Chain A
Amino acid sequence: DQQVKQNSPSLSVQEGRISILNCDYTNSMFDYFLWYKKYPAEGPTFLISISSIKDKNEDGRFTVFLNKSAKHLSLHIVPSQPGDSAVYFCAASSLQGGSEKLVFGKGTKLTVNP
C-alpha cells in the first residue's frame, strides 16, 4: 500500500522554463512534507519542506504547494537549470507516527535540457 505516490517516473523540461513535480498521498494523518533531490552515488539532499498549517513555502527558485483537501503537493522550480537534473523524492510524515519516520515516493527523474 503506497501512501506517497509520484505518478510521473520522469519529466523533461527546457532550461529556463518551469519544472513542476507532483506528489499525492493517501494518509490524512501526514502533516509534514519534504522534497529531496538525489544525484547518482550520493545521498538525498534536502530541498524544501512544508507543514500542514501552510499551503505554500518558497525558498529561492523552489516553491512547494500543498493542497490538503486533494492530498496533493507539488514542487515548482523556476527557472530550471541543467544542474537541477536529478531524481526528486517527495516524503511525508506525521507527528503522531513520529515526524522522523519519513514515507517516500518512488521518485521522479527530472532532466533539464540546455
Chain B
Amino acid sequence: KAGVTQTPRYLIKTRGQQVTLSCSPISGHRSVSWYQQTPGQGLQFLFEYFSETQRNKGNFPGRFSGRQFSNSRSEMNVSTLELGDSALYLCASSEAGEYQPQHFGDGTRLSIL
C-alpha cells in the first residue's frame, strides 16, 4: 500500500505571496491532518479533515486554510506569506474511528524569502 504523498517536496516563495500544498492520503484513509514543524515550536497541529469537513483546528491565524476532496485528497493554503511561515509542513492520514494512529508523509519544506 502506498504511503502518504505530499507535493511539492520543496518550495520557495516571497513574502506576501500565497501557496498551496497537496496531500494524498493512504488508500482507504478518510482522515487527513496537517502539522507545521519549526525548530522553535516543534510539531504543531494545524487542522484535520474528515469526509470533506474540517473537524478540528489548531491555534493558527486565518491565513492558514485547507480543504478535502471527495477522494480524501487534501490541500492546504497559506495566504499573505510571512517569514515566520518558513517550516516543514507535514500531512498525516488515518483510518476512520477513534484512536487510530496517524501516518505521515515526508512533508513539504517551505522557505519564505
Contacts and interface: CB of A to CB of B under 8 A. Distances in A.
Interface residue SS majority, chain B: strand
Nearest to A42: B106
Contacts, number: 62
Contacts of A42: 106
Interface residue SS majority, chain A: loop
Interface in A71-108: 89, 91, 95, 97-107
B81 to A, nearest CB: 22
B15 to A, nearest CB: 26
B101 A107 contact: no
Contact of A99 (B44, B98, B106): B98
Contacts of B99: 32, 49, 51, 95, 99
A95 B103 contact: no
B45 interface: yes
B36 to A, nearest CB: 11
Interface of A: 32, 34, 36, 41-46, 49, 51, 89, 91, 95, 97-107
